[in-house]
């Protein structure tokens, strides 16, 4: 399934254009060249924003809700028709197992476009018949108006899934977009540009600029005076920088940022089911999911039992080429990111934690040794104030920590500046509801992980973000209600 190196260009006003410079995208699997990417400079970003504005004021702005929904469904159909192309692109960029990308990334992209076509087709707004004391009557009703030009900045861990999660509702509400994918994962966003053309998008509805953050396309886009809103998924520090850029013109922002997510395992849990869930929540996508678990709190009476089983699960994971059916775990996204993760592996030992499994760079042999591989890793004995317990690692690693009471478990889980997600494992559903409700997070799971209804609110609190997306919650960000009052 390996694709030859190719050139990825910016997409502006319905056509691909060169950048002023270029950079190389290499595979995290074996270091081979995946693509040469054209970096957008200020001129390209200006052209992209101007094209988006022209389309918003022109043909796209004249479409009604039913026409926009029909377009989203055409995009979903075309994603499915080009499923294998998108699959190759995602695997080449991320190195994740092909089976995972097939099941999760590409399938969810099509589902996202269909889901938001359905949401916009059925969503309503307030209307009131008002009767004043003097007998005056009035009808008040709200209209949904798009923000205008939306900057969409997406990360490298789930590039197509999160891109579609933002572009679909933005277009559903009548906005136009300028997309800046991560420099680590430029391929699927470029293919989506082709798909937009094939689905009949007017020129300027979907624009794409490649590049980096500070001093490049990311900063140029978020500071642009003609961008009306910014949606971003990524690191908390980057989110803070974007908020500062948005502040002078008080532009709306939607951020899904970092996490240091906790799982709580009570002694009465179905322990096999809990360990199954923990294996997924700690190690899925090599721990590179914002919702992954990095802190596991286990009731002391079952701590050793759960720990031993989870260590065995970590040892059974198979690192290897994405196309190998036996592969369960891919590389990290880059050698640079591996250095960050390895710094925490070293730090854990320095801080007094015991490494139960992993902690090293594996020797896989051949070309794979040029990739960004690390071993799945678990620690015990980490102090609550240690950096590996408090800071986001974003790799296949977690600290295992015992607790003695429900109140202690909740206190430990909430002792963080982040607040994205939590999972509670117990057979006592009354306690499950109680503990899940006490978690200071945007999302709580009981006896499961990563199970979502696309209509439900998605987002975090604290350093994990601002705003909610999903279903009609997305519409609240990508559009603004305008009240109309009619005297009767």
**230 inside domain:** yes
Catalytic residue among 290, 299, 309, 392: 290
Arithmetic mean of pLDDT, 299-321:
98
Provide the sign of the torsion angle of the four alpha carbons 280, 284, 289, 292, taken in this order: positive
Q: Is 60 exceeded by the pLDDT of residue 135?
A: yes
DSSP 3-state of 434: helix
Question: Three-state SS string across 35-84, please?
Answer: EEEEECCHHHHHHHHHHHHHHHHCCHHHCCHHHHHHHHHHHHHHHHHCHH
31 shares a domain with 129: yes
Q: Quote the CA–CA distance of 31 and 245 in Å, as a whole number.
A: 35
pLDDT given at position 472: 94
Q: Which of 45, 55, 477 is closest to 222 using CA atoms?
A: 45
Q: Quote the CA–CA distance of 345 and 67 in Å, as a whole number.
A: 52
Output the pTM of the full model. Answer: 0.95
Q: Is 290 a catalytic residue?
A: yes
CA 370 vs CA 27, 183, 285, 337: distances in Å: 9, 20, 19, 14
Give the DSSP letter string of 257-278.
Answer: ----EEEEE-TTS-HHHHHHHH
Q: Quote the CA–CA distance of 237 and 441 in Å, as a whole number.
A: 19
443 shares a domain with 467: no
The tens digit of pLDDT for each residue in 33-83 reads 999 999 999 999 999 999 999 999 999 999 999 999 999 999 999 999 999
The tens digit of pLDDT for each residue in 443-461 reads 999 999 999 999 999 999 9
Structure tokens given for 58 = 């022109």
Strand duo 127-131 + 176-180: pairing: unpaired
pLDDT given at position 6: 82
**Cβ 33 vs Cβ 23: under 8 Å:** no
pLDDT band at 134; cut points 50, 70, 90? confident
233 shares a domain with 110: yes
88 shares a domain with 154: yes
The tens digit of pLDDT for each residue in 169-211 reads 999 999 999 999 999 999 999 999 999 999 999 999 999 999 9
Q: Quote the CA–CA distance of 422 and 297 in Å, as a whole number.
A: 11
Strand duo 354-357 + 377-380: pairing: antiparallel
SS3 content of the chain, % helix, strand, coil (to 5): 40, 25, 35
Q: Is 90 exceeded by the pLDDT of residue 435?
A: yes
Catalytic residue among 39, 183, 256, 309: 256
Return the residue matching tokens 């028709």: 81
pLDDT band at 379; cut points 50, 70, 90? very high
pLDDT given at position 132: 86
**325 inside domain:** yes
**276 inside domain:** yes
**1 inside domain:** no
Q: What are phi and psi of 335, to 5 degrees?
A: -65, -35
pLDDT given at position 277: 98
pLDDT given at position 350: 96
Q: Quote the CA–CA distance of 377 and 358 in Å, as a whole number.
A: 4
Q: Is 70 exceeded by the pLDDT of residue 5?
A: no
**184 inside domain:** yes
Round the average pLDDT of the chain to a whole number and report it: 96
Structure tokens given for 174 = 């009548």
pLDDT given at position 465: 94
242 shares a domain with 266: no
The tens digit of pLDDT for each residue in 71-116 reads 999 999 999 999 999 999 999 999 999 999 999 999 999 999 999 9
Arithmetic mean of pLDDT, 394-423:
98
**458 inside domain:** no
pLDDT band at 1; cut points 50, 70, 90? low
**140 inside domain:** yes
The CATH code of the domain that includes 398 is 3.40.309.10
**Largest separation between any pair of C-alpha atoms in the chain:** 85
473 shares a domain with 444: no
pLDDT given at position 427: 98
Arithmetic mean of pLDDT, 408-434:
98
Q: Quote the CA–CA distance of 381 and 172 in Å, as a whole number.
A: 49
316 shares a domain with 386: yes
pLDDT given at position 180: 98
pLDDT given at position 4: 56
Q: Quote the CA–CA distance of 42 and 48 in Å, as a whole number.
A: 10
Question: Three-state SS string across 164-223, please?
Answer: HHHHHHHHHCCCEEEEECCCCCCHHHHHHHHHHHHCCCCCCCEEECCCCCCCCHHHHHHC
DSSP 3-state of 121: helix
Q: Where are the alpha helices (DSSP H) in 223-352?
A: 236-246, 271-283, 303-316, 335-350
pLDDT given at position 165: 97
135 shares a domain with 27: yes
The CATH code of the domain that includes 164 is 3.40.605.10
Q: Quote the CA–CA distance of 261 and 383 in Å, as a whole number.
A: 16
pLDDT given at position 422: 98
218 shares a domain with 301: no
Domain that holds residue 187: 6-257+463-487
DSSP 3-state of 471: coil
Total count of domains within the chain: 2
The tens digit of pLDDT for each residue in 327-356 reads 999 999 999 999 999 999 999 999 999 999
Q: Is 256 a catalytic residue?
A: yes
**290 inside domain:** yes
Q: Quote the CA–CA distance of 323 and 98 in Å, as a whole number.
A: 6
409 shares a domain with 470: no
DSSP 145: E
77 shares a domain with 126: yes
244 shares a domain with 170: yes
The tens digit of pLDDT for each residue in 227-253 reads 999 999 999 999 999 999 899 999 999
Structure tokens given for 224 = 């642009």
pLDDT given at position 257: 94
- CA-CA-CA-CA dihedral for 155, 159, 162, 163, to nearest 10: 100
């Amino acid at each position: 399934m390996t694709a030859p190196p190719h050139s990825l260009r910016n997409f502006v006003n319905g056509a691909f254009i060169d950048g002023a410079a270029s950079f190389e995208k290499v595979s995290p699997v074996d270091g081979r060249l995946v693509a040469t990417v054209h970096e957008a400079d200020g001129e390209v970003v200006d052209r992209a924003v101007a094209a988006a504005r022209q389309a918003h004021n022109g043909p796209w702005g004249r479409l009604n809700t039913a026409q926009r929904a029909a377009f989203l469904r055409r995009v979903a159909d075309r994603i499915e028709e080009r499923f294998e192309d998108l699959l190759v692109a995602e695997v080449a960029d991320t190195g994740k197992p092909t089976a995972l990308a097939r099941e999760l990334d590409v399938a969810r992209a099509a589902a996202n476009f269909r889901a938001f076509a359905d949401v916009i087709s059925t969503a309503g707004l307030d209307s009131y018949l008002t009767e004043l004391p003097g007998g005056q009557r009035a009808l008040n009703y709200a209209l949904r108006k798009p923000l205008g030009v939306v900057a969409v900045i997406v990360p490298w861990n789930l590039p197509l899934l999160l891109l579609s999660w933002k572009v679909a509702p933005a277009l559903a509400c009548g906005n136009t977009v300028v997309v800046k994918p991560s420099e680590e994962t430029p391929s699927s966003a470029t293919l989506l540009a082709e798909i937009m053309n094939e689905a009949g998008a007017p020129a300027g509805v979907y624009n794409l600029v490649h590049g980096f953050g500070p001093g490049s396309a990311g900063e140029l886009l978020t500071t642009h005076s003609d961008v009306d809103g910014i949606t971003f998924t990524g690191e908390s520090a980057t989110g803070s920088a974007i908020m500062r850029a948005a502040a002078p013109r008080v532009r709306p922002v939607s951020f899904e940022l970092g996490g240091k997510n906790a799982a709580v395992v009570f002694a009465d849990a179905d322990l096999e089911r809990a360990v199954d869930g923990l294996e997924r929540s700690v190690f899925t996508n090599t721990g590179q999911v914002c919702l992954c678990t990095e802190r596991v709190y286990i009731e002391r009476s079952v701590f050793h039992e759960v720990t031993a089983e989870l260590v065995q699960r970590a040892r059974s994971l198979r690192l290897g080429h994405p196309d190998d059916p036996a592969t369960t775990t891919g590389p990290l996204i880059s050698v640079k990111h591996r250095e960050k993760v390895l710094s925490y592996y070293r730090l854990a030992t320095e801080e007094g934690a015991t490494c139960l499994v992993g902690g090293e760079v594996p020797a896989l042999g051949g070309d794979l040794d040029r990739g960004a591989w690390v071993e799945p890793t678990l620690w015990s004995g980490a102090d609550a104030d240690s950096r590996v317990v408090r800071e986001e690692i974003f790799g296949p690693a977690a600290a295992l920590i015992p607790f003695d009471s429900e109140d202690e478990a909740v206190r430990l889980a909430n002792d963080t500046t982040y607040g994205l997600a939590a999972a509670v494992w117990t057979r006592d559903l009354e306690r499950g509801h109680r503990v899940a409700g006490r978690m200071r997070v945007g999302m709580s799971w009981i006896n499961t992980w990563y199970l979502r209804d696309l209509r439900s609110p998605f987002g975090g609190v604290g350093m994990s973000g601002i705003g909610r997306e999903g279903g009609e919650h997305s519409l609240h960000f990508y559009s603004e209600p305008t009240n109309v009052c009619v005297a009767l």
